[in-house]
Every structure is written in structure tokens, then in C-alpha cells.
A = this chain, B = another copy of it.
Amino acid sequence: MSVRHFVGDAAVASTPDHDRGLAYGDGLFETMRAHGGAAHWWPAHWRRLERGAQALGLDLPEQARVRREAEALLDGASAVLKLIVTRGTGGRGYAPPQPATPHWILSLHDVPAAAPPEGLNLRWCDTRLALQPALAGIKHCNRLEQVLARGEWRDPDVHEGLMRSAEGDVVSATAANLFVLHEDRWTTPAVDRCGIAGVCREWAIDALQARQARLAVTEVEAADAVFLCNAARGILPVARLGARVWRPHPQVAQLRRRLAAEHPAFATEVA
């Protein structure tokens, strides 16, 4: 896996000592699907990064420079491109240094396997998402809740786990957003109290004119169709959730074709 580190404008060999990303998770990240050397949804990823930087009061590096370095690293390849931006180095103590020079890391990862054609097999996670409106929606580096939830199972036949908030409403999978269909109306959980506003979620909300709302467990289990999505893997049909089984749904298949037509990385995955 290829990795490049930068501090402000300067390339560096590795993570500097006293990086606040390591000390406090004081940073943001984006995980993008690149195809033929280009990250097709770059603008949407950068917009979310800017919203996160605003929420954390964190300085971002210059977008054009980051994109240039990302494309140089990709060098024509298809891969998952990960960008981490931390607040940079600081002494001991929570006070954000002023000014701070961001540390940013680009890394390439293998393209994930395509969704199983029969659909994903899900479980419920016990770990809850705490309600924290100040951090909701953004893709920050405080991810212990997701780590705990994903650590709840090791059975490779279970592909993902659904997480509920502390109040019991369904929010997302550990690493993907959730959409459910009821009588031709798509709903995805609101992410104003916890959860991440995924880039593929944003695309799907537009494509489906989906509403954002609190979603009860029973509303997921009673749905006519369910899919997960994220920017690395696209649209992931769901076949099972515990004892509940769904048959392939034409609206999900149609959405996958639509994504394949709009994002070249996903074109090869649709039969």
C-alpha cells in the first residue's frame, strides 16, 4: 500500500511526533473510489471535508495541491484513495494550537470485492452511537464506536452490522449508510445527532428523492427493500438481517445501474 505524508506544503517521511491525530483523533478523513487514476466524486468529498474542518476549527491544506498529489500517487490506477487531515502537531493538552499546520496523508488501498450478487447479510450491533450533535455528520477520526461495533462479530458470513443511537433509532451500518423502502418512498436515517453524512448517501438521496428521518428498528424490518451504500463500494443490496430475508428488488437494481452510469468505478460491477 502506497502512502504519502505532508505537513502543510512539505512532503515528509512519516507521521511527525506529537501529531494530534494520533493523540486525540483530532482530524478528518475521506475514503474515495478512484478509477483509472481519477477520484470521480472528489468535489463532494472535499465539500464534506470543508464542513468537518469548519466544525472542528481545523485548517485544510490547499485543495489543488492535495488533488495533484492524489493523482500523482494514483498514477492511472483504480484503487480506494484515503485522505486523512489532522490538525497537525501540538504539545500536551487539548487546546488547539494557533496557528496549526495540518498533517495530511494520502494512501492507496485495494478496490474492495464487489457486493455479493445475492445481497449482504446483516446483523444488529449492541454498541450504540452516542448523541453528539457537535460532531454528527462529519467524518472525523474519533471512531471507537465503530471499532467496538465491528469487533462484535468475526463470522465472515456476516457482512455488516446495523447500529442504533443511544435512543434506539437506527442510524447506519458500521461503515455504510442505510436506505429503506416503504411503498415507493425511500428513507435514510437523519445524521444530525450521530452518524456520518456519506458522499454516496448524498448521491442516493438526490437520486431517490429520499427523505431523512429517525428510523425505528421495526421500520427497517418491515421495509420492502433495504440497501447500504458508501463511496468505496457503491450501492450494496441487503438480503438478510437476522431472520428477516429480502428478495432482490428492482428499484435497488435500477439504482445500481444508475450509479454505474454516473460513476465509472462502479460500471464494471453491474451485470
Contact = CB atoms under 8 A, between A and B. Distances in A.
Contact of A95 (B24, B96, B105, B150): B150
A154 B94 CA distance: 12
A66 interface: no
A106 to B, nearest CB: 11
A2 to B, nearest CB: 10
A149 interface: yes
A262 interface: no
Interface stretch (A67-75, A139-147, A210-218, A238-246): A139-147
A135 B25 CA distance: 15
B19 A29 contact: no
A88 B198 CA distance: 26
Nearest to A98: B154
Contact of A1 (B19, B91, B93, B141): B91
Interface stretch (A40-48, A125-133, A184-192, A248-256): A125-133
A18 interface: yes
A56 interface: yes
Interface residues of A, number: 59
Interface in A101-147: 105, 107, 109, 127-128, 130-132, 134-135, 140-147
Contacts of A84: 22-23
B151 A145 contact: no
Given A15-B15, A56-B147, A142-B143, 20 more contacts: A1-B17, A13-B14, A14-B15, A14-B16, A14-B17, A15-B17, A22-B27, A23-B29, A23-B84, A23-B143, A25-B144, A26-B144, A56-B144, A91-B109, A94-B146, A95-B150, A95-B151, A127-B134, A131-B166, A132-B145
10 contacts: A1-B18, A14-B16, A18-B107, A22-B86, A23-B29, A26-B144, A56-B144, A96-B147, A134-B148, A142-B144
4 nearest A-B pairs in the assembled complex, by CB-CB distance: A25-B25, A130-B130, A142-B142, A24-B143
